[in-house]
Amino acid sequence: MSYHKGKRKITLTIVPHTDGDIRTLRISKSSIKFIFLCIIISVITVLGFLWYYYGEYSQAQHEINDLLPYKERNQVLKEEKEYYEQRLSEFIDEIEKINNEFGDIITEKQEIRELINGKDNISQNNEMQTDMSNNIGYYDFENSEDKGNDMIQYIEANLVMLKEVMPKQKEDLSNLKQKVVEHNRFIEAKPQGWPIRSGKGRVTSPFGYRYHPVLKKRLFHDGIDIGVWYNHKVIATGKGRVIFAGDQNDGYGRKVIIDHGYGYRTLYAHTNRVLVKRGQWVARGDIIALSGNSGRSTGPHLHYEVQYKGKVVNPMDYIK
């Protein structure tokens, strides 16, 4: 291959190593300059594009690097969100259980109110009045650096406390309910009130020592005598079981004795007619006899007697 330079053109001769035609190519100087210029422009253009895209890439990479912490933070926040959602779901389940237990306590309280129902003055149980809110802790979330985690710990601590307190409250309410039931039974059984329907009659002979109108001497009167005409309705002054109904020939005539339990017994004597039988259960206000003048008596009246633990006591203390 050889070059032949002229004033305006360059001749390029191409000789093959093997058999073949020799080729000659003539190129003007202006064409060569143009080709070189195109090559230079192309190189500059390519380099410019490369520089531009390198700058764009560097900026994008820089922005990506700047966003990486946010991506990591976003991942952390996502994991925290999932954790808090899970814990919140667990708390909701726990709170639902506690609400159910509170519902049981409210039901117990309502039953206790129904049992009390103004039948007697029962002192309030301090434990039943426990204010659950006083046991709930307080935390200043506004000044907390990690509100989510602190709130979780706060709720967990109070749920633990509530779960510990609730069984005790339920047990206390159950015990109180049983006490109220037993107390109401006692109130139903304890002798109370006037033993003649509609408040008929008046006390003609009080409890204690007196001059006996039949035996004509000073003796202790075990009850009270209520002056009342024949066939007025004699009523039980408390719930109990009739342990005697009839006449024992002991001076009391036709009488009724009721065992009320809790150490109490009542006796209704000198009646005209007994209306109950031995072993029968009666409630306060039930008619058990009709007033009269049977036995050792100077006129129609009712002898009413109250015994407590085997000893006679003043019936007036149970009438007022």
Same domain, 259 and 292: yes
What are the C-alpha distances in Å from 298 to residues 34, 214, 260, 301?
Answer: 161, 7, 30, 9
Q: Is 122 in contact with 112 (CB distance < 8 Å)?
A: no
pLDDT tens digits, residue range 276-297? 999 999 999 999 999 999 998 9
Instruction: Supply the pLDDT for residue 145.
Output: 53
Same domain, 252 and 309: yes
pLDDT at 27 over 80: no
pLDDT band per the 50, 70, 90 thresholds, residue 201: very high
Q: Is 238 in contact with 195 (CB distance < 8 Å)?
A: no
pLDDT band per the 50, 70, 90 thresholds, residue 4: very low
pLDDT at 301 over 90: yes
If one counts every other C-beta atom within 10 angstroms of the C-beta of residue 38, the result is 10
Same domain, 201 and 119: no
Of the spans 31-35, 139-143, 163-167, 249-253, which averages the highest pLDDT? 249-253
Same domain, 218 and 129: no
Instruction: Supply the pLDDT for residue 148.
Output: 61
Same domain, 206 and 169: no
Q: Is 254 in contact with 268 (CB distance < 8 Å)?
A: no
Query: Parallel, antiparallel, or unpaired: how do β-strands 202-205 and 224-227 relate?
Result: antiparallel
The CATH number given to whatever domain includes residue 271 is 2.70.70.10
pLDDT at 124 over 50: no
Q: Which two tokens stand for residue 178?
A: 């049983």
Q: Which two tokens stand for residue 42?
A: 């192309």
Q: What's the total number of domains in the chain?
A: 3
Burial class (CB in 10 A: 0-12, 13-18, 19+), 244: middle
Same domain, 217 and 274: yes
Domain boundary among 164, 189, 214: 189
Same domain, 69 and 100: no
Separation of alpha carbons 136 and 161, rounded Å: 8
Q: Residue 145 sits in which domain range?
A: 88-189
Instruction: Supply the pLDDT for residue 138.
Output: 47
Instruction: Supply the pLDDT for residue 122.
Output: 43
Instruction: Supply the pLDDT for residue 147.
Output: 57
pLDDT band per the 50, 70, 90 thresholds, residue 275: very high
Same domain, 276 and 240: yes
Q: Which two tokens stand for residue 146?
A: 């990690």
The answer to whether the pTM exceeds 0.75 is: no
Mean pLDDT computed over every residue of the chain = 81
Instruction: Supply the pLDDT for residue 95.
Output: 72
Separation of alpha carbons 214 and 293, rounded Å: 13
Q: Which two tokens stand for residue 192?
A: 């109370």
Total residues found in the chain within this entry: 320
Instruction: Supply the pLDDT for residue 319.
Output: 92
pLDDT at 129 over 80: no
Same domain, 298 and 222: yes
Same domain, 67 and 126: no
DSSP letters, 143-192, are G-SSHHHHHHHHHHHHHHHHHHHHHHHHHHHHHHHHHHHHHHHHHHHS--
Same domain, 284 and 204: yes
Instruction: Supply the pLDDT for residue 120.
Output: 46
Domain boundary among 189, 213, 241: 189
Same domain, 75 and 93: no
Domain boundary among 168, 189, 210: 189
pLDDT tens digits, residue range 143-177? 555 556 666 777 777 777 777 777 777 787 788 88
